[in-house]
Amino acid sequence: MKKRVSLLGMTAVLVGGLLAGCSGGEASGNEEGQVEVKMSGWSASPEEQALLEETIADFEEKHPHIDVNFQTISDQYMDVLKTRLIGGEAADLFYLDASEAPALMSKGVLEPLNEYVTDDFDINDFEDPLLNAFKQGEEIYGFPKDFSTLALFYNKQAFEDAGLSGPPQTWEEVIEYSEKLTVDADGDGKPEQYGLGIAKELARQFYKLEPYGAELVDENGKASFASEQAVDALQPLVDQYREDQTAAFPSDVGAGWGGEMFGQGKAAMVIEGNWAVPFIENNFSNIDYGTSEIPTVNDQKVTAAFPVAYVMNKQSEKKEAAWELLSYLTGKEGMKTWTSKGFALPTRKSVAEELGYDSDEIRGSLVKGASYAQPWQAGENLSIIMNNFDNQFSSALLGEQSLDEALQKAQETANKEIEASN
C-alpha cells in the first residue's frame, strides 16, 4: 500500500517552483552546445533495461548534442516523484501510469505537448483509448510508450480433455466452460483444476460495469458503483465462486497470482495481461496454451488497458531537448526498438503491425483489445475508491455479506474519505 502524498498541497508549492523555473535555461536561450536531459522511471527486468539502454543509445547517436541521464526510482515510485516535483528536483521527463495521470494533469505540473507536435509525428497512429488516457480536454500531457490489455489465457490440453474445441465467446459461456473444466478427481470438494482463476481487485473487474450501464465514478469524481447495474455486472462472478465453485483465487490453491495458477495447471482459464507471456514461457514452457479476447460481457466487447506514458515536467528548463527525446522514444523508430522483444507492447498501430504483434498467436488478442479498451483510471480519487472496493468485494466473494451490501458500504466509506481529503 503506497503512502499517499497530497497533491492538493503540492499546488501552492509548485506555483512558486513553476515561476522560478521560467527564469533560466531555455527561457534565456541557453540550450547551445551539449545538453543533458534527465529522465526517470521505475526499475525493469534486466532484459527490458537492456532494450531501454539500446533505444537511448540510438537516440544519442542521432542527436549527438543531447546526453540522456536515466534515473531509476526503484521503490515507492509515485511518492518519490511527487516529493521531487514539490522540491523542484524532478527529471525533465518521467514515466507516468494512466491510473496516476488525472491527478498530475489537473495540478498543472505537466507540460502540455500539443504545441510541440509536428505532422510527421503522426498522432493518429496511436490507439485512441491509450492516447486519450493522457488527455485533459484537448490538451495532451503524455504520449504512451507501451501498454497491456487483458486477454483470456486458456489451456489447450484441458480444453481438449473437456471436449471443448475453442475458447468461450461470451461470459455466459465462460460460466458453462468453467463447469466442464473443473476437475475434482478424488471427490473431496477441492478441485485439482478449476475452470477459471479470478482476481478480486477493482483493476480486474471495473471494465464489466460499463456494458451494464453502471459507472465507477460520477462527474464529481466520487464513487458511484453501488447500483443495481453494478450488481448485475459483478454478481455472476460472485455466484461462480460461491455457488458453482468453478472459479478460485490464486491464494486458494497456493499460487501467488493468476499466471502462476495457470502455469501450475490449477486453472484452465485466467484473465491476464502481456506480463504473463514471458512468465509462462520461462517457467512453464511445457504448457500448450492460447489466448483470446475477453469474452463479451452483456453482448459488448470489453477489456482493460494499462498504458504508461512519457510526460514532460512543466518545470523543465530543457523543454526543446526533452521533446526531442520524448518524440523519439514514442515515435515509430524508438518504439520499435523498445518493444521489439515483446516485453512491452507498442501503442502505435504501425509498429504493432510491423513487428507482427497484431497477428501473433499469443499477443494478437492483447493488441486487438487496444482499440476498444477502457484505460485503468477513474479521476483523482482512484486509490481511495480502489481500496474500499477491494476490501468489500472480497468480503462479498467470501460470503460475509451480499454483493449489494458490499458495494453500498464501499461507496459510502470511499466518499466519506474523499470528502475528508478535500
Torsion, Cα 365 370 373 375, to 10 degrees, reads: 130
State the CATH architecture for 7-148+306-375: 3-Layer(aba) Sandwich (3.40)
Check residue 25 and give its pLDDT.
Answer: 42
Q: How far apart are CA 349 and CA 371, in angstroms?
A: 10
User: What's the mean per-residue pLDDT of the chain?
Assistant: 92
Mean pLDDT of 229-254: 97
238-244: long-range contacts at Cβ-Cβ below 8 A with a sequence spacing of 24 or more?
A: 238/396, 238/397, 238/403, 240/175, 240/178, 240/196, 240/198, 241/198, 241/397, 242/397, 242/399, 244/175, 244/178, 244/179
User: Confidence band (pLDDT; 50, 70, 90) for 24?
Assistant: very low
State the CATH architecture for 151-304+379-421: 3-Layer(aba) Sandwich (3.40)
pLDDT per position as a tens digit, 268-299: 999 999 999 999 999 999 999 999 999 999 99
The model scores a pTM over 0.85 = yes
Does residue 374 carry a pLDDT above 70? yes
Asked if 104 and 73 touch (Cβ cutoff 8 Å), the reply is no
> Cβ atoms within 10 A of the Cβ of 10, count?
20
pLDDT per position as a tens digit, 38-84: 999 998 889 999 999 999 999 999 999 999 999 999 999 999 999 99
| Percent share of the chain, pLDDT over 70 | 92
Mean pLDDT of 15-29: 38
| Percent share of the chain, pLDDT over 90 | 89
Asked if 310 and 317 touch (Cβ cutoff 8 Å), the reply is no
Domain boundaries, the chain: 7-148+306-375, 151-304+379-421
Does residue 135 carry a pLDDT above 90? yes
User: Confidence band (pLDDT; 50, 70, 90) for 32?
Assistant: low
Question: Are both 7-148+306-375 and 151-304+379-421 of the same fold?
Answer: yes
Does residue 19 carry a pLDDT above 60? no
Does residue 6 carry a pLDDT above 80? no
Q: Is 185 left (phi over 0), alpha (psi -120 to 50) or beta?
A: alpha
Q: Is 193 left (phi over 0), alpha (psi -120 to 50) or beta?
A: beta
Mean pLDDT of 389-408: 97
User: Confidence band (pLDDT; 50, 70, 90) for 30?
Assistant: very low
The better pLDDT of the pair 29, 112 is held by: 112
Asked if 178 and 194 touch (Cβ cutoff 8 Å), the reply is yes
Check residue 387 and give its pLDDT.
Answer: 97
User: Confidence band (pLDDT; 50, 70, 90) for 33?
Assistant: confident
Q: How far apart are CA 414 and CA 159, in angstroms?
A: 41
Check residue 185 and give its pLDDT.
Answer: 85
Three cell numbers at 342? 515483446
The better pLDDT of the pair 210, 20 is held by: 210
Does residue 129 carry a pLDDT above 60? yes
